[in-house]
Chain A
Amino acid sequence: MDILDCLDYVEHRYELKFEQQLILRALTAKIPQNREYLDKWTASVNFDDIDYITLKMVPALYNTFRDSYLDNAYAGRMKGIYRYFLIKNNLIMSDGKVIIKKLVDAGIDVILFKGAAMTLAYYKTPALRHMGDLDVLVRKDQLKHAEEILLANGWKYRYTEEQKMTYVHSYDYINFRNHGFDLHWHSLYETPIDGIDDGIWQRAQSFNWDGISLKIMSSEDLILTSMINGFRNFLFITDPNSSHEINWIYDITQIIKSEEKIAWEIVYEEANNRGLTETLFYAMSVLRELSEKFISTEQINQLFQSNTKFCRDFFRGLISEGRTHCLNFQKRRQVDKFINSTDKWRFLWRKNGVNSKVISSHNKYIKNFLNSAGDVELIYLNNEFIPVLPQVFDITHPARLGKIIQQQHNTQDGYLHLGPGILALKENHKMSDYSAQIDVLTGSIKDKFLPGESITLELKIINTSPHCWVLDKKQQHQIGVSYHLLSSEGQVILWDFPRSYFFVPRRGYVNFIMPGEEIICELPIVMPKHTGRYTIQLDIVQESITWFSEKGSQFPKFEIEVVSEKELVC
C-alpha cells in the first residue's frame, strides 16, 4: 500500500508559520528564487517581534546572502546576530572540547551528536547552528566514570539530586559559565532501553577534533535524532508567542545536501525498532512538503510500503479520529479494503468518530466553511451556543448578529448561518474560572509498581466552571489532562508529562465543552524508573496559560511505591 498515494495531504500538528516557511525556502531554494523568499520574509516580518526560534535561523540567513550583498532593512542587526551566535556557540564548543578531551584521555568512548556534531561535520562554523549545550553519548558502563571526570573538572549537575532520579537517558551538567554538557547514555528520551543504541555505536564515524579522536554520529542517525528531537519539543511548547522549531528541518537539509547518498532504510529501521515509526512518517512528510528534492513521495512510499501494520494503524487512526477528509477520495475503497479485518472498521465515512484517548464527550461544534485562501466564509452555529457566544467570540458586527438571531433562531435545523465579518474567535483564551472535576472511572492504582510500569486510567472530566472551554485545532491553548510526579512529602520531582487533550479533531470545526458537560478519556501514566515512594497528582492544563490546580482546582492524587521485582514477589 503506497500510503502517500492514498492521501490528498498529510494532516499533522506540525504547522509551520508562513514566515517560517519563507525562511526555510530562502535557505534551501535555488538562486534566484531564494532571494525572492528572503525579500518576502523581510517584507512580512516585524524584526522587533521575531521569536527566539526565528532568531536562531538568522545567522544562516545572513551567511547565505552576505556574499550577494545583503541589503535588506535588517542587515545590520542580522550581522550582529551572526556575531552573537559566533561567539556564544564558540564559547560553548570550546568549553565542551576541553572536557571531552579529558573524557577521551581517560579511555571513555564518546560519540558527539546533535548541534556540536552538526557544526563540526556540516556547518563548519558554530555561528550557523544554535546550541544550548554539547551532547555526547557514552556507554552506560562508563557513565559513572564520565560523571566523576566532569565533577573533578568543575562541572556540576544542573538540577537537584531528586530530579536526577527521574532522568532516564541523559544528565545535564553545567560549568561556571553556565555552559551545558548533556551526558547521554541513551541517545533518545523516548527509548531508554539497553542495547537500543548498538546500531548507532556501530555506524558512528571517527572524527578528529583538533587532535581529539572521538566519534560523530553517522548522517542517518543524525537525521533520525534530529527528527525525533524536533518533533518532541512541539508537544511541550508553553510560550504563547513561540512556534514549532525549524532548525531540525534545516539541519537535515544540510546533511542531505552534503552527503552523496542517505541510506533512508537505516533511518526507517532504527525508528521502527524504537517504536517511532509514526513520528518518522510525519517528520518525513514535513521535509517532503518543503521540497521533494530532500525526500520524495516515492521514497516515503517505498519505505513504509511493507509495513502493513503501520499503514493499517495509520488509516484506522484517521477513521477513529474523524480525519478521513485528508484521504484521496478515489482511493477510498482501496483503503477500506486494505484495512478491513472486522466490520468494526468498515465505517470510513461515519460522522462521529471515537478518539482513542477521548472516549466520549459532549463536544459541541461550530463548523467553519473555508474558502481556498483559508478564510472563513460561513459559520454554522448551534442555537444552544448563543448564550455563551460572548465568551468565545468577539462580536465584530453586533447589529447584524442581532438581526440574524431574530430571523433564523428556531429554524428547523437548529443552526445559525453566519457569513464573514460578524464574529471573530477571541485571541485571549484566559478564563476567570478554572473549576473542573476529575473522576477516575477505571484503571488500577495499586500500591506498588515496578519501575517504568505503565497504566492507563479512564477518567471523567467535568467542566464545573461557568466558562465554555474552547478547543480549536489552530490555537496553542489546548486543554488536556495530565499528571505531576511528586515525592511522598509533596515536593515536585517532575512537573510536565504527556497530555491527553480534549480536542476531538474534525476539519473545519472548532469544538468546545459547555459548562456542566463532561469528557471521558484515557490517560497513560508511566511510573518512575527508580524505586521509592511517590505521589501522582492529576491535573488539567490550558497550554501556555495555566494549570487548573494553580487556579484552585483540586484533583485526585495517589500515593504509590515503586519497588524492585524481588520486593514485589515478596
Chain B
Amino acid sequence: MIYYFEINPQILHENLEGEVIIINLTSGIYFSMNAVGGYIWALIEKKQSFDVIIKTLAENYQEETLVIQKAVQKFVDELEKQGLITRISVKPSEPDVIESIIPKNPGNFVAPILEHYQDMQEMLLLDPIHDVDEITGWPHQKQESK
C-alpha cells in the first residue's frame, strides 16, 4: 500500500545548511537529525510517498534497497511516534519537484538518526557562547561543562 506523510502543524522546522531542526511547540521538545534524516525530512516536506523516498535514496547511495528500506521504516516510525508526522493514505496535492535534495556523491549510506532533547527549559539556560562546543554550537555543551 502506498502511503504518504503529513507534518504536524504544531511543528516548527527549519533547514540550516543541511541540518534539520524541529521543535514541537506544544511539548517544547527539540529534535535534530543527521544528513540522511534531513534528506528524508525534505522529501516528506515535498509530499513524497514512502516508496519514492526509498527509491530516491537507493538511486543516490551505494547500498542495498532492502537495507535502506528497513532504516527508513524505522526512522519514519520514530518520527510518527514523536508526533512529528502522521501517516496518510490519501495522496496529497501535487507533490513538489524533488531535484537536488541529495547532493552528488553523498558518501556512504548511514542510517537516519533522530535526536531529541527533552529539557528545553534547561537547554535554554545554557550560555550559547561560553557553555557550548565551539565547533557545533548550542545546544551541544562543551565537554567539561556537562
A199: interface (CB < 8 Å) = no
Please tell me which one of the listed residues A50, A83, A125 contacts residue B138 in the complex, with CB atoms under 8 A apart.
A83
Please tell me which one of the listed residues B16, B25, B130, B133 contacts residue A83 in the complex, with CB atoms under 8 A apart.
B16
A352: interface (CB < 8 Å) = no
B-side interface residues, number (CB < 8 Å): 24
Given A55-B128, A86-B14; A91-B25 close (CB under 8 Å): yes
Contact between A90 and B16 (Cβ–Cβ < 8 Å)?
no
Give, as a whole number of angstroms, the nearest-CB distance from A49 to chain B: 9
Contacts of B144 in A (CB 8 A): none
A169: interface (CB < 8 Å) = no
Contacts of B17 in A (CB 8 A): 66, 79
Contacts of B16 in A (CB 8 A): 66, 79, 82-83
Give, as a whole number of angstroms, the nearest-CB distance from A86 to chain B: 6
Contact between A50 and B129 (Cβ–Cβ < 8 Å)?
yes
Give, as a whole number of angstroms, the nearest-CB distance from B39 to chain A: 19
Chain B residues 15-36 with CB under 8 Å of chain A are 16-17, 21, 23, 25, 28, 30
Chain B residue at minimal CB-CB distance from A63: B16
A81: interface (CB < 8 Å) = yes
Kindly state the separation between the CA atoms of A284 and B49 in the bound complex, as whole angstroms.
54
Contact between B137 and A91 (Cβ–Cβ < 8 Å)?
no
Chain B residues 100-141 with CB under 8 Å of chain A are 120-121, 124, 128-130, 132-140
Contact between A80 and B132 (Cβ–Cβ < 8 Å)?
yes
A contact residues, range: 20 to 34
Residue among A50, A55, A78, A80 facing the most chain B CB atoms (10 A cut-off):
A80
Main secondary structure of the interface of B (DSSP, over half): loop
Contact between B137 and A81 (Cβ–Cβ < 8 Å)?
yes
Contact between A80 and B25 (Cβ–Cβ < 8 Å)?
no
Contact between A91 and B28 (Cβ–Cβ < 8 Å)?
yes
Chain A residues 72-88 with CB under 8 Å of chain B are 76-84, 86-88
Please tell me which one of the listed residues A66, A76, A78, A94 contacts residue B25 in the complex, with CB atoms under 8 A apart.
A94
Kindly state the separation between the CA atoms of A366 and B16 in the bound complex, as whole angstroms.
54
Please tell me which one of the listed residues A77, A88, A90 contacts residue B137 in the complex, with CB atoms under 8 A apart.
A77
Contacts of B21 in A (CB 8 A): 83, 86-87
Chain A residues 206-239 with CB under 8 Å of chain B are none
B12: interface (CB < 8 Å) = yes
Contact between A84 and B136 (Cβ–Cβ < 8 Å)?
no
- 1/0 per position for A428-444, CB-CB distance to B under 8 A? 00000000000000000
Please tell me which one of the listed residues B12, B14, B23, B129 contacts residue A77 in the complex, with CB atoms under 8 A apart.
B129
Chain B residue at minimal CB-CB distance from A67: B17
Contact between A76 and B28 (Cβ–Cβ < 8 Å)?
no
Given A90-B23, A90-B25; A79-B120 close (CB under 8 Å): no
Contact between B136 and A91 (Cβ–Cβ < 8 Å)?
no
Kindly state the separation between the CA atoms of A76 and B133 in the bound complex, as whole angstroms.
8
Contact between B25 and A84 (Cβ–Cβ < 8 Å)?
no
> In the complex, given contacts A55-B129, A87-B12, what are 4 additional A-B residue pairs having Cβ atoms less than 8 angstroms apart?
A84-B139, A86-B23, A91-B25, A127-B14
The 6 closest A-B pairs by CB, nearest first: A80-B137, A80-B138, A94-B25, A76-B135, A84-B128, A84-B138
19 interchain pairs, CB-CB under 8 A: A55-B128, A76-B133, A77-B138, A79-B17, A80-B132, A80-B138, A81-B137, A81-B138, A82-B16, A83-B16, A83-B139, A84-B124, A84-B139, A86-B23, A87-B30, A91-B120, A94-B25, A125-B14, A127-B14
